Amino acid sequence: MESTAIKQTELSFSNQKRNMIFGVLLLGCILCSLLQTALNTVLPVIMKDFNISASVGQWLTTAYSLAMGIMIPATPFLMKRFPTKKLFSVSMIIFTIGLLLSATAPSFSLLIIGRILQALGCGVLLSLVQVVVLTIYPVKKRGLMMGIYGLAVGSVPVIAPSLAGIIADSFGWNMIFWGAIVLALVDLLAAVFILKNITEPEKQPFDVFSLALCSLGFSGILVSMGNFGTHGFFSLFVALPLIIGITALVLFTFKQLRSKEPFLDLRIFKNREFRLSVITSILMYAVMMAGSMLIPIYVQTMRGNTATFSSLIMLPGSLLMAIASPFVGRIYDKIGIGKLAAAGSIGILFSCIGLSFLSDYTSMLLIAVLFAVRSLAITCILMPMVTWGMSTLGSEHTAHGTAIQSTLRTISGAVSPAIFVSVMMAAGSASPIHGINTSLTGIAIVAAILCIISLFFVAQRERKQDYCIFHRPNV
């Protein structure tokens, strides 16, 4: 049952006002999603400008995703502690400062710092819009608005590399950040006149220790995987941060399970549907983000093509994903998650296997087709899987469920490029083509695991749910 506060919030806004508020928040989310993957296509150009290797350059995306993943768990507290308008404005200001620093960065280190600042602002924005939608819109309209939100944050990261490649070749990669600055300032100005405070602030203590453990855990694992490409697996540079990261996450888990008011309520993992949806989302994001980074490296570095050409290879898949997203939502409403997950996971596996046999003469048309198949298949799983898992949780667990889903999905998107670029570097010392094929084969193995879970666990669980609904004994 909805709280009186939420019902009053719904009634206090007209439809036009709700849509204007949603528009302001959505523009911020679109900018965040664009910047998450925008540098994937132009990474070879940046590597050349700063004279860095792929294992170093991948931190432009990895550090962004990591910082955003660390920030997301803190947003439930921030949304309770601070007024909506102030929280949005401060987050957008931090995001814009990060954009300015990256646009003018004279060194790779300052470019990374700018990316981290962008991610800190984005971590708040992506969670804030979901809570606002569920607060200001009546139940009958929430599905539609969340679908629009899902289209923005789901398809935009896939379209971004294509758009960024064209901008970089035409005006330089710095223009990606300058263009985002203009849109961010427009959004900030609109927020001054349109955005309203949605919830009343509450004074409550912040669990700094839990956030520190969470941050240390994810950072340790990510640094370890990032060092794998340049150091041996049993090297101190790999083993030490890995041990620290795993230890911190174990301590974090125990603390949350024993706390009466946990930072993140991990007990909801007892819900099998939610657990399956998180696992499949993690695997799917690992495949999506790693592949989106490796393909441009192959097309540009190993085949000598431009960033624009690389973006055109990925563009059909990006457009297909954007067009298909609303229809996939309607299909999910009619047939459920089982068949969609099966079709999507098989399509992902098929495309990953096809992309793991690249050579110096592989047809670019074939790569574009396989990438388009992969994009469409990802669409079948992306938002439907999240919707299925979240729909099985009670309203009191929605905030924690959203934070857990978003955090682990984002961290997976950060860790996977670090792992597979490291594999590429380690296996490609003699032959770069062998290195990238080894890495893409590893992605195909992850896709095979995703396929097995979708076919034999998700679909089976949905059939059991349907049986319980339609064969319930009379009481």
Write down the H helix ranges in 302-336: 307-335
Q: How far apart are CA 311 and CA 329, in angstroms?
A: 27
Distances (CA, A) of 305 to 299, 302, 351, 425: 6, 8, 22, 20
Q: Are 391 and 462 in contact (CB under 8 A)?
A: no
Residue 432, token pair as written in the block: 């770069």
For 187, what's the count of Cα atoms within 13 Å in the CB-facing half-sphere? 28
Please state, in angstroms and rounded to a whole number, the distance separating the CA atoms of residues 198 and 136: 8
The two tokens of residue 347 are 């399509």
Q: Which H/E stretch holds residue 128?
A: helix 108-136
Residue with tokens 């302001």: 24
Please state, in angstroms and rounded to a whole number, the distance separating the CA atoms of residues 157 and 205: 35
Instruction: Please list the rounded mean pLDDT of every run of 10 residues in the chain (475 residues).
Output: 43 74 86 82 85 81 80 78 86 94 92 92 81 72 67 70 82 91 93 80 78 86 73 75 91 90 86 92 90 86 83 82 78 84 94 92 93 90 83 74 82 83 82 91 95 86 50 35
How distant, in Å, are the alpha carbons of 240, 303, 355, 357, 359 from that of 363?
Answer: 42, 11, 11, 11, 9
Contact between residue 371 and residue 239 where contact means Cβ atoms under 8 Å apart: no
- Give CATH superfamily name and number for 4-199+263-466: MFS general substrate transporter like domains (1.20.1250.20)
d(CA 178, CA 369): 32
First to last CA, the chain: 23
Token pair belonging to 51: 């004279």
How many other CB atoms are found less than 10 A from the CB of residue 407?
24
Q: Provide the 10 A C-beta neighbour count for residue 469.
A: 8
Q: What is the pLDDT of residue 467?
A: 39
Helix (H) or strand (E) holding 273: helix 272-297
Query: Cα-Cα-Cα-Cα dihedral of 178, 113, 292, 333, to 10°?
Result: -80
The beta strand positions in 178-333, using DSSP E, are: none
DSSP secondary structure string for all residues of 20-87: HHHHHHHHHHHHHHHHHHTTTTTHHHHHHHHT--HHHHTHHHHHHHHHHHHHGGGHHHHHHHS-HHHH
- Tell how far CA 294 is from the center of its chain: 17
What are phi and psi for residue 29, nearest 5 degrees?
-65, -40
CA atoms within a 13 Å half-sphere pointing along the CA-CB vector of 282: 16
- State residue 231 phi and psi, 5-degree precision: -130, 155
Note whether 344 and 378 are within 8 A (CB): yes
User: Contact at 8 Å (CB) between 75 and 127?
Assistant: yes
The CA-CA-CA angle for residues 113, 119, 125, to 5°, reads: 150
Q: Which amino acid is at 191?
A: A
Distance CA(399)–CA(402), nearest Å, equals 5
